[in-house]
């Protein structure tokens, strides 16, 4: 062995090894064989999802066609959004596998070549209390119905953080999950937790419930008057009764949003969601809070911290495999179009019933 080594060492200092055979790739690209960018681009053009007029002459590859064409499609549908922040991305098979490996215990398989993903980005916070007071004075129940419509729209499109969601988490941590405990039950639970201290008063229902919106944001389905308003007919009646009132614009926008939701529901249309993905979306389309308060911020911060600690935190708001065929793509994007209509009306309604929070 040592003789061979010595000989070879000597040889290597005097001889140059031969040139590589030209068939040996020097700079190979490793890519997923499942993806065929040209077929997808061609099918999206045939399905008239991508408009050839949106593709500049500088476009050189199928990826360029997909990038310019889909950017234009999404731009048209997200134009004018003031409140909701999110980004869309098309991930190829390998990129999706990399992403899926970050999810814990996911039941979803991503075997299709392409996946459409919604990412949350830099959520802003909007405060509801001031406008809710004005709306409730004008038309009792209108605020709760508008908020209910927004929640309905959000569950089908862009996930937002609502006062009720944060309140439910608060109740889980401090009141054993009971969202409507008696003062004595709450006191008993808080005593067990904090011991005998004045701090308890800061977490009693009579202090907390108004901060999270009380009957307007938390128990809004319990009020008979508000239930009547939940139908479009009920809202229209309100608009007819008080046509000159500025709150009528809110009522009209609520009607428009509810109609868009109904149309989307009928077509089974919604944006990609997190179904079967065990991950917590920590950045939402926006935060809606009833009253800016340290206990609200504490709860939101703890929810996010919990998600990070559990390894469940994700910036993704939804994801869905893209179909392949021309007809399937046409149907898929036509449903996305309906869902984006809901997004635009939801965005407008949020802007009408809230004010942006600035610290």
Partner 1 sequence: MHFDIKSGEQQTQLTKAILLYETRRDDYSSQTAYASLHDVMNTGTKANPNVQIMAGTPITQEALLALMGSLGERYILNTELLPESVLSFSPLHLVWWMPACKKRVFFDNKELGKRSAIVPHPALLFVVVGREWLIFAMKGNNRPTKNTPLFHAPYFNVYDNGNICAGTAEIPDRLSTSAIPTWENAFFESAFTHVNGEIRKVSHPKGEYAFWKEMLDNKYEKFPVKFLVDSNQTLHSVMRSLQNQIGRQ
Count the neighbouring beta carbons within 10 Å of the beta carbon of residue 55. Answer: 18
Q: Cα 269 to the chain's mean position, in Å?
A: 15
| Rounded Cα–Cα distance for residues 96 and 103 (Å) | 11
Where does this chain touch partner 1 (CB under 8 A) — which range of 78-86, 207-215, 253-261, 264-272?
Answer: 78-86
- Residue 98 in the binding site for partner 1 (CB under 8 A): yes
335 Cβ contact list (under 8 Å, min separation 6): 264, 267, 268, 269, 270
Does 350 engage in binding with partner 1 (CB under 8 A)? Answer: no
The count of other CB atoms within 10 Å of the CB of residue 291 is: 17
Site for partner 1 in 294-333 (CB under 8 A): 302, 305-306, 309-311
Residue 278 binds partner 1, judged by CB under 8 A = no
CB atoms inside a 10 Å sphere around CB 95 = 16
CA proximity to 318, closest of 286, 293, 283: 283
| Backbone φ, ψ for residue 173 (5° rounding) | -80, -35
Closest to partner 1 by CB, 114 or 238:
114
Our CB check for partner 1 shows the closer of 30 and 107 to be 30
**Which residue in 36, 112, 134, 176 binds partner 1 (CB under 8 A)?**
176
Q: Would you state the structure tokens that stand for residue 211, as one six-digit string?
A: 């901060």
User: Min. distance of Cβ 8 from partner 1 in angstroms?
Assistant: 6
* Selected binder of partner 1 within 59, 112, 134, 173 (CB under 8 A): 173
Select from 42, 63, 232, 304 the one that contacts partner 1 (CB under 8 A). 63
Q: Of the listed pieces 91-99, 233-241, 251-259, 284-292, which binds partner 1 according to CB under 8 A?
A: 91-99
Q: Using the rule CB under 8 A, give the single segment among 63-71, 232-240, 253-261, 349-357 that binds partner 1.
A: 63-71
State CA 150 to chain mean position distance. 13
Q: Does 30 bind partner 1 (CB under 8 A)?
A: yes
C-alpha separations of 182 from 75, 99, 188, 202 in Å: 50, 45, 10, 15
Contacting residue, 82, 111, 183, 199, with partner 1 by CB under 8 A: 199
For the residues of 182-207, what is the DSSP string, one character each? -HHHHHHHHHHHH-S-GGGGGGSHHH
Residues that bind partner 1 (CB under 8 A): 1, 4-5, 8-9, 12-13, 15-20, 24-32, 63, 66-67, 70-71, 74-75, 78, 81, 86-98, 101, 104, 117, 121, 172-173, 176-177, 191-197, 199, 302, 305-306, 309-311
């Amino acid at each position: 062995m040592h003789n061979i080594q010595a000989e070879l060492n000597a040889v290597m200092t005097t001889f140059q090894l031969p040139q590589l055979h030209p068939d040996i790739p020097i700079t190979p690209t490793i890519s997923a064989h499942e993806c065929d960018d040209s077929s997808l681009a061609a099918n999206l053009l045939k399905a008239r999802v991508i408009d050839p007029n949106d593709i500049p002459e500088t476009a050189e590859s199928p990826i360029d066609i997909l990038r310019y064409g889909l950017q234009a499609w999404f731009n048209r549908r997200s134009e004018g959004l003031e409140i909701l922040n999110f980004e869309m991305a098309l991930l190829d098979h390998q990129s999706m596998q990399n992403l899926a490996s970050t999810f814990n215990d996911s039941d979803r398989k991503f075997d299709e070549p392409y996946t459409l993903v919604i990412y949350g980005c830099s959520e802003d916070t909007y405060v509801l209390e001031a406008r809710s007071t004005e709306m409730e004075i004008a038309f009792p129940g209108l605020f709760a119905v508008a908020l209910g419509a927004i929640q309905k729209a959000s569950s089908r499109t862009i996930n937002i953080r609502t006062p009720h969601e944060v309140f439910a988490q608060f109740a889980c941590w401090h009141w054993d999950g009971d969202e409507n405990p008696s003062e004595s039950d709450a006191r008993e639970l808080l005593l067990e937790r904090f011991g005998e201290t004045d701090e308890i008063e800061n977490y009693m229902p009579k202090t907390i419930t108004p901060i999270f919106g009380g009957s307007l944001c938390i128990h809004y389905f319990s009020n008979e008057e508000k239930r009547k308003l939940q139908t479009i007919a009920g809202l229209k009646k309100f608009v007819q009764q008080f046509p000159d009132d500025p709150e009528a614009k809110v009522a009209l926008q609520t009607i428009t949003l509810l109609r868009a939701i109904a149309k989307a529901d009928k077509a089974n249309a919604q944006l990609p969601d997190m179904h079967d993905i065990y991950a917590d979306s920590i950045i939402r389309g926006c935060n809606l809070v009833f009253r800016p308060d340290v206990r609200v911020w504490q709860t939101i911060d703890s929810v996010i911290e919990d998600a990070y600690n559990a390894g469940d935190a994700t910036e993704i708001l939804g994801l869905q495999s893209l179909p392949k065929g021309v007809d399937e793509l046409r149907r898929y994007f036509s449903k996305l179009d309906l869902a984006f209509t809901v997004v635009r009306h939801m965005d407008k309604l949020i802007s009408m019933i809230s004010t942006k929070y600035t610290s």
